[in-house]
Amino acid sequence: MAIEAVNPVRSKTPKESVVPKVQISNGVKTIEPKEKPFEDTVVKVYRCSKVVKGGRRFSFAALVVVGDRAGTVGIGYGKANEVPLAVEKGVKDAKKSLHKIALLGRTIPHRIDGKCRATKIVLVPASAGTGVIAGSSARAVLEYAGVQDVLTKVYGSTSAKNVVKATLDGLLKLRSKELVESMRGVMIND
């Protein structure tokens, strides 16, 4: 049985699957703005084999990132005997664990460290036009979260699972200026 190289699989859901809501009150139609649809991408596909009487039996696992590129992101992991099923399960898992991220325009509000097991990632805000300077695993999470300008550096293990989790950990630690002001009860000057 030959195994082919696996390319990233995109979701088959249409890009504009969200229909705008129309409300009629006092004869006036008001249209609520569309929510951004969720997009997904496969960060990595893992292949596992077990030896049985007839030969090798393969199973697959997919690490998936889902986001709307506007501040909402989630990661998921799915396992199955075929790649498309593993990706589908991963997308379902990611949609169950969506998180809202505090952004400052195109970048993040402040420098932050994220950690997961042996992996540490440093996220640094960057000026407009810099782009996402990151490896493929961290880039997927940052782009689908809506971050467009950021610098990153990974220390320790560069395992895709750990880098993705560490990046999400760092993004969840971000605080906006307004949130910090309300928590401390003071006004912060720039």
pLDDT at position 14, please? 47
Threshold 0.95, pTM exceeds: no
pLDDT band at residue 185, thresholds of 50, 70 and 90? confident
Residue 5: pLDDT over 80: no
More confident site: 160 or 188: 160
pLDDT at position 1, please? 46
More confident site: 8 or 167: 167
pLDDT at position 16, please? 47
pLDDT band at residue 34, thresholds of 50, 70 and 90? low
Ranges 40-49, 69-78, 150-159, 176-185: which has the least confidence: 176-185
pLDDT at position 89, please? 96
pLDDT at position 116, please? 95
pLDDT at position 138, please? 96
pLDDT at position 180, please? 86
Domains of the chain: 22-98 (3.30.160.20), 101-182 (3.30.230.10)
Residue 22: pLDDT over 90: no
Cα radius of gyration rounded to whole Å, the chain: 20
Q: What is the pLDDT of residues 72-106, one digit of tens each?
A: 999 999 999 999 999 999 999 999 999 999 999 89
Question: Average of pLDDT values for 28-39?
Answer: 68
Q: What is the overall mean pLDDT for the chain?
A: 86
